[in-house]
Structure formats: structure tokens, C-alpha cells
Structure 1
């Protein structure tokens, strides 16, 4: 379905019906090859036509997405800088990934490069005291 956040209930219903017609194998033989899941169209209509469910859906869409790490790297592959309580690892762009003890204590695993937009997931386990 193709609707905007400001679509009225009538516009949502019209888009739902158009989507069903496009996906129905008796109405459009070409759609049979697409294997469109009519149940997913019905679920989308149910969510968008129910004010409470639509509000939840809209709230989830506005949440910032968690960045997807480019790769997983073990802390063992990082260079330790004991005097600074941090670890570093070279990025392929020439920049550096840096993580310190405080960040690890706070459970941070996603670490951005200091030079490019790439992010990695650093694997480590905190030692028991």
C-alpha cells in the first residue's frame, strides 16, 4: 500500500483495495507470478486503519535506526594502550576505531571510525571482579 502519514481513512481504504486488486490472481494474472502475500496487505490495512495501532507504527518509524555494523571484530584484534585505558584498530580508510574502558563498562559495542562513516561491532566480555 502506498499512503502518506497524513492519509485519511478513506484514502487508506482505497489504497488497500487497489493493492488487493493488483495482488489478486483472478484479477491480474501477472501478479500470480509475483507471489504477493495478500495476508501482509491485509495486516498493513489493519494496522493503518486502527488509530492506536497506527500511532504505534508511526512512533516506531520515528525511532532512530540502529546502525548496521560493517563487520564484527574481537577486542583481541585491537591494539591496547594501557596508559590511556583504550584500544584502537585501523580502519580500511586509514582512520581508527577507538574504544575505552568506560565505554565497555557501559556495554557499548558499536564503534565508529574516526575518519569515515563505517561502524564496527567490537566483541568482548567484561572480566568479573
Structure 2
């Protein structure tokens, strides 16, 4: 979740930026010689820009979005290498924790009580600086 950097010089307002993207991406304004795949990509980008505009053009929803974005940034202070499901991890009955192999050869370990929480967990490798996000099954 992030705000994209727009590089349209000379545009004064958000309405100007939206207008440029609207004309550039609107399905009715597309060239007829686009492949089906290109047309689908343009349509998805148009939908993404339209949804972003609906959030960012309204002061209340923009403030809520900014707060949510800031909370996410504060919560995650390191890069997440991968997102996995808890069921993809191996159960280590000896240590009573879940484990998952890191590409460096180390291991990610998730304690049983942490795995039972309803929130997703970020787990660091025991050898390198990589981390994974473990999605809760609840």
C-alpha cells in the first residue's frame, strides 16, 4: 500500500492529474490495435487509478488512508521476503514451534502461542536478516 509518484509536470491540481490518467487509461480511449493482454492491463490500471482517486480525492478517506499507511510503516521496520500460510510451516514437536527453511540455510521459528493468535506474524530468520510474514489461518 503506497502512494505512487506521479511525474506530470505543469499540473496544478489533483483534478488535472486525474484527468490526464483518465484520458490515458479509460477503456473507451484505448487504441483498437491493443492485444487482449494489453487491453486487460490498461483496464486494471484504470480501475486502480479510479479507486485511488476515490480515496485520495476525499479529505476524510485520505486522512484515514494516511493513518493506516503510517501504522503499517511503524509496524514493519524491516523488509518481508515472503508471505506464507501457517499450514506451509513444519511442526517441530521437540521444540513445540513451527519452522520454515530460509534460502540462506537458516530457519524461521514461530512459537505455538504466537501461531495461535489471530493476527499475522512477522518472523525473522535465525541466521540472516530476512523475514517472512506468516498469515493466520483464522
TM-score bracket relative to the smaller structure: 0.5 to 0.7
Size of the alignment, in residue pairs?
A: 113
Q: Secondary structure at the match of 1:93?
A: coil
Q: Which runs of 5+ in 2 are unaligned?
A: none
Structure 1 distance, partners of 2:133, 2:18, is 40
Q: Please, which moves more after superposition, 49-58 or 99-108?
A: 99-108
What SS is found at the alignment partner of 1:22?
helix
* Aligned counterpart, 1:56: 64
Work out the CA distance in 1 between the residues paired with 2:47 and 2:100. 47
Q: How large is the Cα RMSD of the aligned pairs?
A: 4.0
TM-score between the two structures when normalised by the length of structure 2 = 0.53
Superposed, 1:60-71 pairs within 5 Å as 60-64=68-72, 67=80, 68-70=82-84
Contact 1:90 1:97 in 2 (8 A): yes
CA gap 1:87/1:26 in 2 versus in 1, 3 angstroms:
closer
Aligned to 2:89, the other structure's residue is in SS state strand
- Aligned mates of 1:120, 1:58 — CA distance in 2: 22
**Within-5 A mapping of 1:1-129:** 2-3=5-6, 10-24=12-26, 27=29, 29=31, 33=35, 34-35=38-39, 36-37=42-43, 38-64=46-72, 67=80, 68-70=82-84, 72-75=88-91, 78-81=92-95, 86-87=96-97, 89=99, 91=101, 92-104=103-115, 106=117, 110=121, 111-116=123-128, 117-119=130-132, 121=134
Distance 1:122 1:25 in 2: 36
Residue 7 of structure 1 is matched in structure 2 by none
